[in-house]
């Protein structure tokens, strides 16, 4: 499941996700009828529209094969949000990418980077809802020549929150800049995350402040080692 942010702004993440899954031995199917999981209207309080989008997603994606998405927030919407908007349910299990690699494929090793690389990792808030814990960091730890630096206040939100960043822009910006401050203090120049909303928000704030940080999706990091 590609996600709308991936379709609009992070096409390279979709390509990287397919490469990663295929390297892990999976056959990837992509239904072009898919649209959005329904999270944007859900977060904005328009649950009627969210129900319609959720119903469409279930019609298109629900089947015999597990569903994998490179977005913790979309996976959380599938697994938790659909119940809230009207008792809808995706019968097929939906996994965040690294969660799938860890729990289902049970990846134990990964290729080595062609040259040493040092990154910081940002945990998205939706990982707590999914219960992924340090799964993404565990997958990254399998990559040779990759050093993952611990970030202060690692569980702190980036401030995006979808519609929250629009309706409460000043608060959103303050939270985001606090996160960026921790990233800068860690001494890294590249930030990795498993959620494109976080990446987009932090990248925008860093650019506005003239802070030279690079933001990369975890799928791209894994794919770059192949």
What is the per-residue pLDDT across 105-122, written as a single tens digit (0 to 9) for each? 999 999 999 999 999 999
Residues 137 and 205 in one domain: yes
Residues 117 and 214 in one domain: yes
- What percent of the chain is predicted at pLDDT more than 90? 84
Residues 38 and 95 in one domain: yes
Residues 69 and 161 in one domain: no
Residues 44 and 133 in one domain: no
Q: Give yes or no for residue 222 having a pLDDT over 90.
A: yes
Distances (CA, A) of 85 to 39, 55, 65, 117: 10, 10, 24, 43
Residues 92 and 157 in one domain: no
Other beta carbons within 10 Å of 126:
23
| Residue 27 CA neighbour count, 13 Å, CB half | 1
**Predicted local confidence at residue 162, as pLDDT:** 80
Residues 135 and 150 in one domain: yes
The DSSP secondary-structure symbol of 148 reads E
- The whole model's pTM is what? 0.94
Tell me: the pLDDT tens digits for 54-77?
999 999 999 999 999 999 999 999
Domain boundary among 103, 120, 149: 103
Residues 82 and 118 in one domain: no
CATH at 124:
3.40.50.1860
The label of the residue with tokens 């040493």 reads 116
Residues 220 and 112 in one domain: yes
- Range ranked top by mean pLDDT from 81-85, 99-103, 123-127: 99-103
Domain count, the chain: 2
Residues 168 and 88 in one domain: no
- Write out the H or E segment, with its range, that includes residue 49: helix 47-61
Q: Which domain holds residue 9?
A: 4-103
Residues 99 and 130 in one domain: no
Domain boundary among 103, 133, 162: 103
- When the pLDDT of each residue in the chain is averaged and rounded to a whole number, the result is 94
Strands 190-193 and 67-69: unpaired
Domain boundary among 51, 70, 103: 103
Using 50, 70 and 90 to split pLDDT, how confident is the model at 131? confident
Distances (CA, A) of 5 to 40, 74, 118, 189, 220: 11, 10, 26, 24, 15
Residues 87 and 176 in one domain: no
The DSSP secondary-structure symbol of 34 reads -
């Amino acid at each position: 499941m590609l996600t709308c942010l991936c379709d609009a702004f992070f096409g390279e993440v979709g390509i990287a996700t397919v490469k990663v899954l295929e390297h892990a031995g999976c056959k990837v199917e992509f239904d072009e009828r898919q649209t959005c999981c329904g999270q944007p209207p859900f977060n904005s309080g328009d649950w009627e529209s969210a129900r319609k989008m959720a119903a469409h997603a279930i019609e298109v994606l629900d089947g015999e094969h597990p569903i994998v998405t490179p977005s913790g927030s979309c996976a959380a919407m599938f697994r938790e949000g659909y119940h809230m908007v009207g008792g809808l349910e995706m019968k097929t299990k939906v996994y965040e990418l690294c969660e799938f690699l860890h729990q289902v494929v049970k990846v134990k090793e990964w290729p080595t980077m062609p040259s040493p690389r040092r990154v910081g990792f940002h945990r998205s808030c939706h990982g707590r809802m999914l219960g992924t814990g340090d799964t993404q960091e565990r997958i990254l730890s399998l990559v040779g020549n990759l050093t993952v630096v611990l970030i202060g206040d690692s569980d702190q939100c980036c401030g995006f929150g979808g519609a929250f960043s629009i309706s409460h822009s000043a608060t959103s910006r303050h939270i985001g800049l606090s996160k960026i401050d921790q990233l800068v203090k860690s001494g890294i120049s590249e930030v990795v995350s498993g959620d494109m909303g976080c990446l987009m928000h932090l990248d925008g704030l860093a650019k506005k402040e003239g802070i030279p940080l690079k933001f990369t999706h975890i799928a791209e990091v894994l794919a770059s080692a192949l």
